[in-house]
Amino acid sequence: MTGRTPVRRGEILRLAGACAGLLAAAVALGTAVNTLRPASSRLPWVGDWEHHVESKAFRAGIPVAFLAGARDRVENPAVVVFDARIREQYEAGHLPRARSLPLGEADRRLGDYASLLTPDTPILVYCGGADCTDALELAVKLRGYGFQKLTLYPGGVAEWTEYGGKIREGGQP
């Protein structure tokens, strides 16, 4: 330590004061700008994240894939992709390779895909977008049937199309 100037307590306090000032200015700026935003883009100080589908999936122990992960799985023929929406929505446009398995008909129609599925088959489920929970409920149901490698794509058809993903129409995958 020879030759080094000891750091004085006052210097530490002045540094702490500068840090506090910088943080306080950031809080003031963030608050002011958020308050002045148009109501459509203003963020409430407390959001309802506990009821967001991704938070529900996390609590339910269902892994989540975002757009990049969903693209990888859709392109991977080893992954079975299930569309949890009603049949009419599926036929109007679904992700490539997706098969229709509406939540309300899952118990009855799961047997149609028995030849594709083993407990270790990787499965991706989705529905309309972040506002729907059908895909999460379907994933929980499938887990109850013993399927282990389930992944939820919460962005669903809405995000997929927004980012230029291909959509297939009709009743075939």
Contact set with another protein (CB under 8 A): 8, 10-11, 14-15, 18-19, 21-23, 25-27, 29-31, 33-34, 41, 43-50, 52, 54-55, 58, 63-69, 155, 159, 162-163
SS3 58: helix
Closer CB to another protein, 26 or 167, in the complex: 26
- What is the DSSP-derived secondary structure letter of residue 152? E
As measured in angstroms, the least distance from the Cβ of 151 to another protein is 9
Q: Which two tokens stand for residue 136?
A: 């999460």
**In the complex, what is the shortest distance from the CB of residue 98 to another protein, in angstroms, rounded to a whole number?**
18
Number of residues written out for the chain = 173
Q: Which residues contact 100 (CB under 8 A, 6 or more apart)?
A: 82, 83, 85, 87, 90, 91, 94, 109, 171
Compute the least distance from the CB of residue 171 to another protein, in Å: 28
Looking at the DSSP assignment, which residues form a beta bridge with residue 99? 82
Residue with Cβ nearer another protein (6 or 111): 6
